[in-house]
């Protein structure tokens, strides 16, 4: 192997302060608002037997004729329980995103229909038990980690589907359409958007008591990585603290065993508490295992909306974008939602 300066940077032991600065400086890439992206997760069923679990291999085979990238730029990936995810290319505005995504979703629908498969209309598979059929080391370690605190983790991995709206972080500073404003705005909207588009009322074949049982499952899964990031006047620093204090989900290893010690945080690992020194590569991987309400990835990824039946994703995407991009709409929504967003978050029982 030929070592480059970049590779040496990725593999050398990293200090706690270096990691914190890196996380804060790279996850918020400020710029003019406008670009938008979308990720649609969908739960797959056999068209003739909705009770049959459809393994990832069968889902992958149904999607194969479409290629890895769809005609209008969307990418296809697969979740541990056989869910399909269609992730758009970044588009300059909402109308062009919807037009492109509508065409790519239609392509996928046609291939799955031809394979005898269909997509469930709800965001939580409330009738089939969670079964992991993606056998990668990452997912085995995830399953082991989540099992320590109850069954919600397996359900989250294998039986849930969300609609993720991705928006530009915004301008520098603290004024209109700044990253500070948009970060706060999205967090205040999150519970309202969850309620507006709740689409998962069932759990284990019966009404769950939640309009979004999917969100209930997520709230019951390792809060160090699924709870909302605190809203402060310094979002990059708040995110860096959150990421550093989150539990380590897995430690990539060449021997195939990716299990992380119970209770190990990224901060603890960087302080020497892990099985080996942590590197930049480890920090970057750790960031992909964090799933808060809004996740900064250079852009802001809103993760609280249930997947929608049919083409209803278009409405959810349009409402979300409008309530962040349009100043007047955002201010009116913030004022209307203040009594709700100020309430304490309920404890999860799912």
Residue 349 scores a pLDDT above 60: no
Dihedral angle, C-alpha 114, 120, 123, 125, nearest 10 ° = -110
Rounded to an integer, the average pLDDT of 106-114 is 97
- Mean pLDDT for 146-163 is 96
Residues 310-329: what's their mean pLDDT?
Answer: 92
Contact predicate 330/185, CB 8 Å = yes
| Predicted confidence (pLDDT) at residue 223 exceeds the cutoff of 70 | yes
pLDDT of residue 43: 98
Dihedral sign, Cα of residue 46, residue 49, residue 54, residue 57: negative
Strands 44-46 and 294-296: unpaired
Q: For residue 242, what are the contacts with CB-CB under 8 A and spacing of at least 6?
A: 229, 230, 290, 292
Is 174's pLDDT higher than 90? no
Whether residue 139 has pLDDT greater than 70? yes
What is the tens place of the pLDDT at every residue in 265-278? 999 999 999 999 99
Adjacent-strand bridge partners of 85: 41, 77
Residue 90, SS3 per DSSP = coil
In this predicted structure, what is the pLDDT of residue 348? 45
What is the torsional sign of CA 226, 231, 236, 237?
negative
Find how far residue 13's CA is from the centre of its chain: 28
User: For 191-219, how does the pLDDT look when each residue is reduced to its tens digit (9 = 90+)?
Assistant: 889 999 999 999 988 999 999 999 999 99
The reported pLDDT for the residue numbered 347 is 42
- pLDDT, tens only, 283-298: 999 999 999 999 999 9
Helices (H), 39-80: 56-63
Pair 192, 335: CB distance under 8 Å: no
Domains defined along the chain, listed by start: 21-232+290-341 (3.30.590.20)
**Residues 159, 161: Cα–Cα separation, whole Å:** 7
Give the model's pLDDT for residue 268. 98
**Angle of helix 152-159 versus helix 137-147 axis, rounded to 10:** 150
Mean pLDDT, rounded, for 320-335: 85
Over 90: is that where the pLDDT of 99 sits? yes
Q: What is the pLDDT of residue 5?
A: 47
Of 161 and 347, the one with more pLDDT: 161
Assign 246 a pLDDT band (cuts: 50, 70, 90).
very high
What is d(CA 29, CA 24) in angstroms, rounded to the nearest whole number?
A: 10
Least trusted range by pLDDT, from 41-45, 58-62, 67-71, 109-113 = 67-71
Q: How far apart are CA 337 and CA 333, in angstroms?
A: 6
Q: What is the distance between the alpha carbons of residues 179 and 299, in angstroms, rounded to a whole number? A: 10
């Amino acid at each position: 192997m030929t070592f480059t300066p970049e590779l040496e940077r990725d593999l050398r032991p990293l200090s706690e302060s270096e990691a914190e600065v890196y996380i804060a400086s790279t996850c918020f890439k400020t710029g003019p608002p406008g670009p938008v992206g979308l990720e649609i997760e969908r739960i797959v069923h056999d068209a003739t037997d909705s009770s049959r679990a459809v393994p990832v291999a069968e889902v992958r085979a149904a999607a194969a004729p479409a290629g890895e990238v769809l005609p209008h730029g969307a990418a296809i990936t697969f979740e541990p329980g056989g869910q399909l995810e269609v992730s758009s290319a970044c588009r300059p505005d909402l109308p062009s995103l919807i037009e492109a995504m509508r065409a790519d979703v239609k392509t996928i629908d046609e291939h799955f229909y031809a394979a005898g498969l269909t997509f469930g209309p709800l965001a939580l598979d409330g009738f089939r038990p969670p079964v992991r059929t993606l056998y990668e080391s990452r997912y085995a370690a995830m399953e082991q980690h989540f099992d320590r605190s109850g069954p919600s983790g397996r359900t989250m991995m294998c039986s849930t589907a969300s609609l993720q709206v991705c928006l530009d972080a915004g301008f520098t500073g603290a004024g209109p359409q700044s990253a500070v404003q948009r970060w706060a705005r999205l967090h205040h909207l999150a519970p309202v958007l969850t309620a507006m588009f709740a689409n998962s009322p069932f759990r284990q074949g019966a009404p769950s008591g939640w309009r979004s049982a999917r969100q209930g499952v997520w709230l019951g899964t390792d809060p160090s990585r699924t709870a909302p990031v605190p809203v402060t006047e310094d979002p990059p620093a708040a995110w860096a603290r959150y990421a550093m204090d989150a539990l380590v989900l897995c430690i990539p290893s060449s021997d195939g065993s990716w299990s992380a010690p119970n209770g190990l945080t990224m901060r603890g690992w960087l302080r020497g508490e892990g099985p080996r020194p942590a590197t930049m590569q480890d920090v970057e991987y750790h960031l992909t295992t964090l799933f808060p309400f809004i996740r900064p990835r250079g852009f802001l990824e809103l993760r609280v909306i249930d997947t929608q039946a049919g083409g209803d994703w278009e409405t959810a995407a349009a409402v979300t974008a409008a309530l962040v991009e349009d100043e007047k709409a955002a201010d009116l929504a913030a004022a209307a939602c203040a009594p709700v967003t100020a309430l304490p978050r309920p404890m999860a029982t799912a």
